[in-house]
Structure 1
C-alpha cells in the first residue's frame, strides 16, 4: 500500500499554501486532497440539516425588524441553495481514494464562497446602516454557522477561510456602521482566530492520518513478510503466552512437532519439545538452559537444543525474544525455529574427522596432545607421573611396497584394534600418522609400568596378521618418556619420547627404550644429517620429481606436483619425511624451499602452457616475510604466469601462525597464484581455515579414497561433503593416492575434480616429464 503522501512530500512538510490549494499545479501532493476530503465522506445530510437549521434560525431572528418580503426572499434563496449544494455533493463520493479528484476540492471551495455571499446579505437587509441589535443578532448566528462549518470541514482550511473571511468582514463593517466598533474588532479577531485554528487543525489532521497510514502499512508489511516466511522458508514461527504455553500454533510448527495445531494449542513449549523426558524431568542440558532463560524472560539466539519428535531425537535451532505490550507488561515469547538435525550430524562428523583418524578410528595427533596436556597438568598438581609412549611399526614399509597401500591400510586397522584391546582406565591410544601410534598414560606410579605396557604392546603387535589371505608379520619399536621429569610441556615430553623411539629403532626394532638425557646415537645421526643437509644445495644433491595430476572427468593431464628427493654420498637416499622436519628445525627449509620453487617454475616453462605446477610450502617458509618477494622473483625470472603456479599448504600453517601466514597467503592470491589445502581431513580439519583463506583446491587424503573404493559409507559421505563444500565455495578437489581403476571410477562418481596417484603415474624426474611432450618419431625413422 502506498503512503498517503508520496516520497516527494512528507506530511510534516505540508505547507499552508499547499493545504489551501495555492501551490503550483504541477506539485506532487500525492493523496493529500483525498486525505482532506475524507472527513466529509457520508456527512451530506448533516451539512444539509445544519444549513437548514441555521437559515431558519436567522430568518426567525430577522422577522421583528426586517420586512417580511425581504426575509421571505432571503429564506427562499437560502433553502434553495442548501438543497442545490446537497444535490451537488451527494452524487460525488467525497474522500474515497479511487474517486477523489482536484475538481471536488475546487467544488468545495466554490460552494463555501457561495455560502459566504449568501450569509453576507442578512447584515444589510435593514439598509446601508443596519441597527446595532440586528447586526449583533446576525453576527451571533453567522458566528455559530462558522463554528459549525469549522467542526464539519476542519480538514479543509480553504473552505473555512472562504466562508469565514467574507462573513467576518461583512459583520465587522455592519457593526462599525451600527456604532459598535468594539464589536467589529471582536468580529475581525474571531474570524482570524477561527481561520488560524482551521489551518492548524488541518495540519495536525494530516500528520495524524499519515502516522496512522504508516503504522497500518508497516503492520500489513510485517504480516505479509510473516506469511511469506511461513510459506516459503524452511523455518517456522512460534509463540507462547506468559506461562510459556504455545499459542497461535501455525500448521508448519504443528507438522514439525508431529501433531495438530488444535492439539498443541496451550501445551507448554518445554513439554512439546522434551517428549518422554517431560514426565521424568531429566532434560538435556541445552533444553534446560533454554527453559531457564525463558524463566528469566531473557532473549536467546541460535540455541541448538535436542528435541524428541515422535520418539525420535532431533536437533532444533531456536531463537526468541520476550513480547511486551505498550505498558511493558510481559506477554510471552515470540521466536523462530528450524530443524538442523542433518547439519548437526554433519558437524559432528566433521568434528570427529578433525579429532579422530579416519582409517583406524583412533584419536589423532590433536586429541592425543590434548590428552597428554591434561595428564601433565594432573601429574604436576598431584606430584605424580604420567607417560608418553611413541610406537613405530617395524617392517611396515615392506608391506606397502610389496602388497600396496590398501593391504597396508587394512594392516594398520588391525594394529589399531589390538592397541585398543590393551587399553585400560587412564590410558589413551591414538594414531599420529602413517605407521606411528602413541599411548598416553595418566597417573603412572612407576616408570616400570610404562615399560611393562610397552612390552605387552610389542608382544600383541608382533603376533601374525591375516590380510587378504596374506599372513603378515610386523613388529614395533617403542620409546617412552615420563612426565614431568622428562618434560613438563606437551612438546618437550613428545620430543623426548620421539628421541627414545629413535633409540629403540637403532637397536633393530621390537625394543622398548626409555628417554635418557644422553641419547648419543640419535643426536649424532641428527648432527650428521644436519651437517650434510647444510651443504646439500651447494653440492647439487637435490632433485625434483614430478607426479602427474589429471582431470577426473577424462583423464586429461592438467599439471604436476613437484616432489623433492635427496641423494647424499654418505647417507644415501634420504626420505623427505626424515630430512624435511630436520630442515625445518634447523631453519634450512627456506633456502631449500626457494630452490624448489625456482626450479619448479623453470621446468614448468618447458611444458605446454595449459599445465600448472604445484609446490609444497612448509609453515616455516610462510613465517618468512621475504617469501612473497621470493615467489615474485621466481615467476619473473622463469617467465611463468602466476596462474600456472599452485602453492600447497597444510593446516599446520595456521596452527603455528598468529595471522602473518594467512596475510602472506592472501598476498599470493592477489597475485593470481592458486592455493591448495593439502591433507584435508587427516589432521585438524577446521572449516575456519577455508573461511579465512581463499583456497582454490582442497586435496582429499588417500585414506578416504581407499575407504570410498571399498564402499565405506563414512568415507563416501566425507568425500561428498568435501566436494559439496568445495563446489559451494568455488573450489576444486584433488584426490590423492588413486592406484586402481576402482578407486578412479569411485572418485569420478563422487564428483572429484582432479586425481593424483600411481594409477596415472609415479613421480618422475624432469627429463621423463619432457619425454611426455616429445612428438612421436616418423615411421621411417623408427624403422631405421
Structure 2
C-alpha cells in the first residue's frame, strides 16, 4: 500500500497506477496552498530574517513544487498502463524535495523571530500536511514523507526551545495524519479491487451471453417415466453448464434445483413444474426459476407427454429457452412503473396503490389509516440559484432521510417535483400522525451538505385520516392536499390536519378566483387614494393608489383577501397594469407637482416589458414621468434581484421615482439601498405605532432609518399616523412625509381631486 515493496502480481501493479494517477487531480489545489503559505511566511518573517535567506528560500519552494507537479502530471495517465517501482521512488523524491524547504524554514527562520512566529509557521505547515492528507490520500507514501520531514523539523525546533507540550502536539498531529491517510488509502484500495472484480465478472457474463446468442438459446429436453434425463442434447447440457454424458440419467428437477435440492426449499415455479410432470399433463411456455452452472436463471419451458404405440406413457419431451434477459427487462420495467428513478422511492402509482390497500385494511379491521403530503419549503430557491443537478442531489438526500424515519407501518413515496407522501397503514393512535409529521419536519430541516454547499430548506406537512376524512384514495389525497395548502399559507414549516372547514375555504377561494378573472372586464375594480403630506407644511405632496374590489357576486372583498389570491394565480399582472393606467389617468387631473404612488408586485415587476407598460400608461394619460412614483417591497429582490434591478433602472431612466415600502419588516438589506437610487423609504406603520407607545426598539429603528435616508439624500414617509400626537412625534423625529388616517383615509378619485385642489391654498385638515 505504501509502495515500499514491489508487488508480484500484475493486478496490483495496475492498482498502484490507479493510486498515483489520482494525485494529479489535486495538483493545482496543492500548488495554490503552497503559494499561499509561502506568501504568508514571507510576510511573517520579512524584516526579521536576512533578505538573502528569504531570496534563496523562495526559489527552493518554487522549484520543489514545480518538480512535484511535473511528476504528478507525468503520472496523470498511469492508470492506462503498468506503473514501475522506479516511478514510485521518483515521486517520493519529488515530495521530499517539496518538503525540505519547509523543514529548512522551521529550523532556520524561526531563530530570527520570536517563539510565536515559530508557532505560526508550524500552523502553516500543519495546514499543508492536512491538505496533503486529504488530496494525496490515495498514495499515502507522499503524505508520510511530507509529514515526517516537516514534523521532525518542528519537533527539533520546539524541543530546542523547551516547548515540550508543542513537541507532543506536533508528534500527535503527524501520527494522526499518517494514520488517517493509511485508513483512507486502505478504503481506496478496497474499492478499486472490488471494482476490478466486478468488471472481470461482467466481462465473463458478457462472453457467455454472446456465445449463447451466436449458437441460439433454444434446446430440446427429454425425460423418462421416472423424470430422469434421456438423450440430452448438447445445447441442453450447455444450458445446464454440464457435459451431456454427465447429466444422463439424473433427475430433471435435481439438475435445475441446484442447492435447493438438498434443503427441499424449491422455488414455487419448480414445484409447479414437478407437479405437471407428475400429473403427466402438457404445458406450454411455463416460466421456471432454475439454478444451473451459470447461476440462477429463468427458463421458459414447454413439454408434452410421450406415448408408445400401445398408448403407454414413456416420458416427456419438450423445448426450452433461457429468457433471463427478457425477465430482467420485464422486472426493470415493472420497477420503473412503480418507483421513482431519481430517489428510488415508490412513485405516485405505488403510493396510491398502498393508500388503497391501507383503506381496505382500515375498513376490514375497523382501524384508521393516514395520508401525509409533504412539500419542501424554499426548495425552488435552491434549484434557481445552484441548478437542477444540486436540486436532484438534495431530493435524493430527502428521500434517504424519509426512508430512515419509516417503519413497517409507514411507506414513503415521491409524488413528483418536491412533493413527497407517507402512507401510515395503522393510525389508530391519534397522536402518532402528529408525532411522525413533526419528525419529518425536523429531519428535513437539518442542513444538507452538497458539493461543498451547506444548504437549508424546510418542510410543510398536511395530513388526512382515513376513512374519517375520506373513504377513497382520491378524496383522502385531496383533503391532505388542502391541509398542506393551509400549512404553506400559514408560513410553512408546520403540520396541518385536515378540517371540514378547509373544503369551504377551498370552494370560496375557487369562486373568488373565478370572479376575479373577470373583475377588470366587468369594471368591478376601483381605485381609492390616500394622501401623503409634507411633515412640516402638511400640504399634500402625493396620493397612494389603493385598489378595491366591489364584486357583483361577493360584494366588497377586502384587499388582504383578494391581493394574495391574485399573487398566487398571477392575476396580479393584468390587475397591476389596470391600476397603473387608471392611477395615471386620475393623477393628470391634479395640480402639478402632486405625485401618484402605485404599488407594484414582484410578479408584475419580473414580467418582461414592465418598463414598456409604464411608458404606455404615461403616454396614454399625458402624466409627466416625474409625477409617478413606483412603490416596491424588499421581497422582490429575493426572487430575482438582477431582473428586478434592471426593470427598476429602466423605470428610473424614464424620470419616475422609486419608493421602498415596508422597509425593516422583512428581508432588509443595505445592499438594496446601495444598488438602487430610491427616492423614498417608507417606515412601516408597525414601527410608528410602537414609537407612539414609547417602544425603544421602534424609536431606534425610525431614528436609524431617518438618519440613513438623510445621508443618502432620500426622503422618508411614516405610515399609519392616526392622531396629532403621533404626527408631532414623527415630525420631531425628522421624517419628511406623513401618511395615515389623521390626514385622510383612502378615498374615491373625486374626493382626492378636491383635496388636491384645496392643498394649494392650505393645510390638509385631520
- TM-score w.r.t. the length of structure 2 is 0.40
Query: Looking at CA atoms only, which structure, 1 or 2, has the larger radius of gyration?
Result: 1
